[in-house]
Chain A
Amino acid sequence: MTTNAYAQLALYLALLGLLAWPLGRYLADVMAGRSRVVTGPLGAVERCGYRLAGVDPAHEMDWKRYALALLLFNLLGALFVYALQRLQGWLPLNPQGFGAVSPDSAFNTAISFVANTNWQGYAGESTMSHLTQMLALAVQNFLSAATGIAVVFALIRGLARHGAATVGNFWVDLTRATLYVLLPLSLLLAVVLVGQGVVQNFQADRQAQTVTTVQYQRPLLDAAGNPVRDAAGQPRTETVTTRAQTLPQGPVASQEAIKMLGTNGGGFFNANSAHPYENPTPLSNLLQMLAILLIPAALCFAFGREVGDIRQGWAVLAAMTLLFVVFALAAIWAEQQGNPGWRALGVDQAAGAWQAGGNMEGKETRFGIVASALFATVTTAASCGAVNAMHDSFTALGGLVPMWLMQLGEVVFGGVGSGLYGMLVFALLAVFIAGLMIGRTPEYLGKKIEAFDMKMVALVILATPTLVLAGTALALLVEPGRAGILNPGGHGFSEVLYALSSAANNNGSAFAGLSANTPFYNVLLGLAMWFGRFAVIVPVLAIAGSLAAKPRLAVTAGTLPTHGPLFVLLLIGAVVLVGALTYVPALALGPVAEHLALWAR
């Protein structure tokens, strides 16, 4: 570990805290309708929209109606994204002339973007028209994040209110989160990113003439477009010499900003944030990492404010930060160790003033080890899934970190909204376990936690592991599932486990060696993403409705305080315990076995 590693981590956390504090206050005020932004001239535009839509913003919904509105809206979004992909060949803003996306890939991508996952089976630069990127994908980047914010505020209201029948108005929450939070932040970040070198235009790709020629082998095709084979049945190739290089263009920066702020993660290009046109400098990298965790961290403060006790927000944030630091240091350490197999080959992997050293396969020079490993931790702590280095090429333990962070349910900061509502569910579990230990009825923020609430908590906590483990088992049992694996041995198993963990937890990053753009994986992962998202959201809203109706109990000497260090430890314990009990056997078969094999040689 270099000094610079600690410096970059410390700088990141300090800036995150500094930015999240004021944003938390703003978020709370905007979502409650108290902010001057809402009551001012911009609010007139918002109210005009409600009139058009026939929405009475003062009319609140009970949890069932809230959930129904949310599901309906997201279903509509999925249908629209699917349709646009299938029709893009006939629509404008398609300078590369891309045809329709295949039905299974379009199904997968539609769910993926609606569910805030942004798993990408396709390669952006060779599949999606500019119109599809903007009107379908970028729009869902906003709306799926706004959906997350809406859900967490419904839950916060459930905790803050007593004897109430309603948890808010979904249309109002959705609109405010989009217009007042995501949109201005994205505008600002996008323009700064352009300044760093992220492209932003509506041109077709440019063709450059490179300095020297490049030679490569191209398969020979006959007149019908089929490969020509030699006598032995091998496809014949021809040597091509070229100086042409494609320089891809498009509205990248605008999509990049919301991709991070909404913890979406779907890149404009295949290489995602490793691509120099998406993430050109170390500064753009820092800003992207900050953007990922900014709203999730700010929501902790907004939560504390709305329940009338800011210490409650600090406690949740402290638990998240402690877990985050441990995971980040583990990832940086593992990657800096390098690859033991290369030592005998005369490769210099030592970190020094003039090189990053370590395991540089799949990593960019400008980011080196620290900014790559830190990014991997940030993106999987959140439900972002953007990558600036190829996780598939991480060392065994370095790859275990992002995988386990996702499997913990992405509650270490987590996705926009989904991180905090996931963590609050774990808080309910923590007080429940503590209540069992001391023999008292569990309470959280003065709300008695009863059988119905715990049933919903259990649903939330069991839904994603079921999808991950059953899905992985299924994929490994059938031929189309095994056919996608690239790497041999334990690492191949890790590729499948990672894919299901990523999909069901709505992350979207990948051990990208897995060939997942097949009908089998597109359907399996599409279903995992849909249920991983909405089979969690509906029980969370049920908890919100149930808690809102309850009276608030007075604090007594027997009440377990939920703002101190003891509770922070309890909360971390609940998260780690569930994550470890569920996933250690699977992880032992994948990254752990691989690590032992790699270092035993």
Chain B
Amino acid sequence: MKLIRPALVLFAALTLVTGVAYPLAVTVVGQALFPAQADGSLIVRDGELVGSRLIGQSFTDPRYFWGRPSATGPMPYNGGASGGSNLGPANPALKQAVEDRIAALRAADPGNARPVPVELVTASGSGLDPHISPAAAQWQADRVARLRGLSPARVRALIAAHTEGRQWGWLGEPRVNVLALNLALDAAR
């Protein structure tokens, strides 16, 4: 058949171009222009790899800011198994999870009667969300300040320093990087 040879040759050639040459070219250019980003925006503290700016970590100690709940298994913020809860809006399991998270937040900060920002009680899509909203950070500021013996103003200043606005003033949402904020808290001792 006259169609077999073109099919085989073009498939092989285009596979080499798009499957080998293309990713190699992107790697070479990407690594040359943006080496830190291409390797995962890693954070090294005292010579130890402590994480990535882009990948959230689980914080359950009330002395730290807590991030989004994470639905990854078997442990939260498992970088090897990203994903969300996929619970539907009417699923009783979702309501139960939200109630449990509210209870844990209230138990860690009994004096705080304000409504809980929605992000602190809902699991992120990736299970690795590195951010919370400024509202969710402010909600936790007094607790963190009290337990660390820092002034609330100092903690709020740290939040403000780690708040990113909408990109270009327009895109996405304002947010606070939880890992970066908590590392700054540890350094503020």
Interface positions of A (Cβ within 8 A of B): 4, 7-8, 11, 49, 52-55, 65, 68-69, 72-73, 76-77, 80, 123, 125-126, 134-136, 138-139, 141-143, 171, 174-175, 178-179, 182-183, 186-187, 190-191, 194-203, 205-212, 214-218, 240, 242, 245-249, 251, 253-255, 257-258, 269-271, 274-277, 280-283, 285-286, 338-339, 341-342, 345-349, 352-368, 370-372, 387-390, 392-396, 486-491, 494, 511-513, 594, 597-598
Contacts and interface: CB of A to CB of B under 8 A. Distances in A.
A194 B30 contact: yes
Residue from A123, A487, A598 whose CB has the most chain B CB atoms within 10 Å: A487
Interface of B: 2-11, 13-15, 17-20, 22-23, 25-27, 29-31, 33-34, 37-42, 48-61, 64, 68, 74-92, 94-95, 98-99, 102, 114-119, 121-136, 138, 166-168, 170-175, 179, 182-183, 186
A190 B30 contact: yes
B157 to A, nearest CB: 16
A261 B64 CA distance: 41
B15 A511 contact: no
Contact of B99 (A178, A206, A345): A345
B174 A354 contact: yes
Contacts of A356: 119, 133, 173
Contact of A365 (B13, B37, B54, B173): B173
7 contacts: A135-B15, A171-B6, A187-B25, A247-B52, A283-B167, A357-B118, A487-B87
A211 B50 contact: yes
Contacts of A393: 84-89, 94
Contact of A53 (B6, B118, B119, B132): B6
A194 B34 contact: yes
A404 to B, nearest CB: 17
Given A199-B38, A207-B49, A271-B83, A282 B167 contact: yes
Given A7-B170, A135-B15, A209 B49 contact: yes
A290 to B, nearest CB: 12
A80 B133 contact: no
A357 B76 CA distance: 23
Nearest to B115: A348
B102 A347 contact: yes
A138 B23 contact: yes
A511 B135 contact: no
A201 B41 CA distance: 12
Which 6 A-B residue pairings sit nearest by Cβ, starting from the closest? A282-B172, A274-B125, A513-B86, A368-B173, A271-B82, A194-B30
A355 B126 contact: no
Given A198-B37, A247-B79, A366-B173, 10 more contacts: A126-B81, A182-B18, A251-B26, A254-B22, A270-B83, A283-B168, A359-B122, A362-B86, A364-B129, A486-B86
Given A214-B58, A283-B168, A134 B20 contact: yes
B6 A55 contact: yes
A360 B119 contact: yes
Nearest to A142: B18
Contacts of A207: 49
A52 B13 contact: yes
Nearest to B36: A197
Given A217-B74, A242-B75, A245-B55, A271 B40 contact: no
B174 to A, nearest CB: 6
Contacts of B92: 488
A183 B7 contact: no
A275 B90 CA distance: 25
A171 B4 CA distance: 12
B172 A491 contact: no
Contacts of A240: 75
Contacts of B59: 211-212
B14 A143 contact: yes
Nearest to B120: A347
Contacts of A594: 88-90
Contacts of A354: 133-135, 138, 174
Contacts of B55: 245, 247, 276-277
A491 B99 CA distance: 21
B165 to A, nearest CB: 10
A365 B91 contact: no
Contacts of B94: 361, 393
Contact of A191 (B23, B29, B77, B119): B29
A58 B131 CA distance: 56
A212 B82 contact: no
Contacts of A361: 84-85, 87, 89, 94, 122-123
B182 to A, nearest CB: 6
Contacts of A191: 26, 29-30, 33
Contacts of A141: 18
B129 to A, nearest CB: 5
Nearest to B4: A72
Contact of B88 (A55, A275, A392): A392
Nearest to A169: B6
Contacts of B29: 187, 191
Contacts of B124: 274, 362-365
Nearest to A48: B13
A69 B18 contact: no
B85 to A, nearest CB: 7
Contact of B51 (A8, A135, A247, A365): A247
A345 B91 contact: no
A208 B37 contact: no
Contact of B117 (A53, A138, A142, A348): A348
A249 B175 CA distance: 25
Residue from A240, A247, A274 whose CB has the most chain B CB atoms within 10 Å: A247
Nearest to B29: A191
Contact of A248 (B53, B79, B116, B173): B79
A347 B115 contact: yes
Contact of B84 (A11, A55, A254, A274): A274
A348 B37 contact: no
A194 B102 contact: no
Contacts of B123: 361-362
A232 B85 CA distance: 28
